[in-house]
Chains A and B, each alone.
Chain A
Amino acid sequence: MVTPVTVTMVLAAVVLSLLAIAMAWVLGWANKTFHVEVDPKVEAILDVLPGANCGGCGYVGCGEYAEAVVHADADVALCAPGGAGCAQRLAEIMGVEVTESAPYRAVVHCAAKRYQRLQQTPYDGEVTCASANLVGGVQGCTYGCLGLGDCTRACDYDAIHLVDGLATVDYEKCIGCKACARTCPRNIITMVPFKCERMLVVACSNQDKGPDVKAVCEVGCIGCTACSRKAELMHMEGNLPVVDYDRYDATADFTEARKKCPREGMLYVGKPSAEDLAAVAGETLPDRVEADFRTTVDDTEWRG
């Protein structure tokens, strides 16, 4: 019976099937014609990489780094979050040798909390270190941490915070992506290879000497050179001591040097030791409330 309803239904089914077949055919053809040759090694490397797209390797994302390793001879050990294990596996995929290396972590070369900085003036400008650095005169020390949080905002891993106005790295969370080091307008954050859980660092960047430093800071290094004379891994560059991290190892002993230091010039930084954890075991952590803005598009999973 050729009623309009029958014809509609049959025609609808036919049109849809034809459309589906046509689209499938076109897409199949496109898949073959537009096929982009992807080296299987790139896929394998992408699987190994953590996929954080942090940019710490110097490439825009993990995809870029994978391609650079395969096609552009990039070093296999550049992935900081991946660490030594990732470098090892990348080396296996590429068939090269990898030298044992330590993970790099961010170190802030300043120990002055806000109440230890002298000659501070009230600052009402834009609350960023970059602006305060340009304006000048916000605090006496022109080398040290301004404590306005550019590094905290640059960090995607919640690994650096302002404690009493001083940028402080949380070594449980830092993955060494160098975002904070790149952002700091005073360049006082450097990447240090962490060969041990806790490393000795020089916690000052002030290149002036003696009375000039004392005028602007209660704890900065005055360049007395006592430490470099006592510790063989330290030497002076200008008025600041520098630790030789290439020769640094667990046996390095800085106790004499630290006893001699009249200021707070050298600190051990890193993950908290067992004694530190035991000391604060009784206290509860204050709640940090953060806005939870998850959208469907921010996730890497498909959402519409």
Chain B
Amino acid sequence: MDTLIALIQIAIGAALINNFVLYYFVGICPFLGVSRRVDTAFGMGCAVTFVISIAATLSWAFTYFILRPEAPLPTWVWETLGGDPGTKVDLSVLSYIMYIFVIASSVQFVEMYVRKFFPPLYKSFGVFLPLITTNCAILFACLKILAELQDPEQLWGLHQALTLAVGGGVGFTIAICLMAGIREELDMCDVPKPLRGAGISLIVAGIMAMAFAGFAGMDSGIKDALAMFLK
């Protein structure tokens, strides 16, 4: 039960309070570029959520078993070679390269899979998939998971990593759809010429960030509420 409440906290944290776009500033390029219409924005959000979950799973697995300081694989190799158990072999220097590799390959794989088995789905968001490879949001989710895995007290399991990833993706989708809706309305407004396009979108994003800041404290509030209910 505590685990479930902790997972809900992580999810709400990633989706609303520490929204990837509006708090951590990742994924700004697609946020500004693809948010002209709500349907394309939603497609992009779904694609990002999809890829983020796959990438997070794979990178969690690699980090847990190979890359963190006390990981099983290097420890096993070290001890087999007769090394003294006090010093550890730390492969975490490979983290970034490995994450990028994982993300690029999984996006490629997903694109091929979706194109073969879900052609209508491919038509609706297939064109975004190559763009997502360098979407900061995916790499950011992996880096957050890495941070939690490097902290020996936290040592997140797959369930926490996946909740963060999906929560982040959902938060990204919410933010991008909201922005798309606002921009559709902005199209009919008389925006001063210098601010048209990127300028006004960023100002709107700033106001959205202020709005989302109102979610602060919601995770502990929900935790208390749920703890009361489920006692």
Contact = CB atoms under 8 A, between A and B. Distances in A.
Contacts of B73: 15
A295 B87 contact: no
A295 B131 CA distance: 13
B29 A297 contact: yes
A26 interface: yes
B113 A30 contact: yes
Given A7-B78, A27-B108, A304 B134 contact: yes
B198 interface: yes
Interface in B103-118: 105, 108-109, 112-113, 115-117
A218 B74 CA distance: 88
Contacts of B93: 8, 12
Interface string A1-24: 010100110011001100110010
Contact of A304 (B34, B78, B131): B131
B81 A302 contact: no
Interface in A116-132: 126-128
A289 B117 CA distance: 47
Contacts of B198: 293, 295
A36 interface: yes
A223 to B, nearest CB: 37
Contacts of A30: 108-109, 112-113
B161 to A, nearest CB: 19
Interface residues of B, number: 43
A291 B193 contact: yes
Interface string A243-259: 00000000000000000
A7 B77 contact: yes
A128 B187 CA distance: 12
B116 A304 contact: no
Contacts of A11: 74, 77, 89, 91
Given A4-B89, A15-B73, 19 more contacts: A2-B81, A7-B74, A7-B89, A8-B74, A11-B77, A11-B89, A16-B94, A16-B97, A19-B62, A30-B108, A30-B112, A33-B116, A126-B188, A293-B196, A295-B32, A296-B29, A297-B32, A303-B29, A304-B29
B interface majority secondary structure: helix
B197 interface: yes
B101 interface: yes
A31 interface: yes
Contacts of B88: 4
Contacts of A36: 115-116
Nearest to A128: B188
Contacts of B74: 7-8, 11
B90 A8 contact: yes
16 contacts: A2-B81, A2-B82, A12-B91, A15-B94, A19-B101, A23-B105, A27-B109, A31-B112, A34-B113, A34-B116, A36-B116, A126-B188, A291-B193, A292-B197, A298-B33, A304-B135
Interface in B199-225: none
Contacts, number: 92
B12 interface: no
A4 B87 CA distance: 7
> Which of A7, A19, A128, A297 is the most central at the interface, judged by chain B CB atoms within 10 Å of its CB?
A297
Given A2-B82, A291-B193, A291-B196, A26 B109 contact: yes
Interface of B: 29-30, 32-34, 62, 66, 73-74, 77-78, 81-83, 87-91, 93-94, 97-98, 101, 105, 108-109, 112-113, 115-117, 130-131, 133-135, 188, 193-194, 196-198
Contacts of A292: 197
A263 to B, nearest CB: 35
A34 B115 contact: yes
A43 B105 CA distance: 25
Contacts of B116: 33-36
A20 B83 contact: no
A304 B130 CA distance: 9
Nearest to A16: B94
Contacts of A4: 78, 83, 87-89
Interface string A266-304: 000000000000000000000001011101111000111
Contact of A303 (B66, B105, B131, B197): B131
A295 B112 contact: no
A2 B193 CA distance: 66
A304 B133 contact: yes
A235 to B, nearest CB: 42
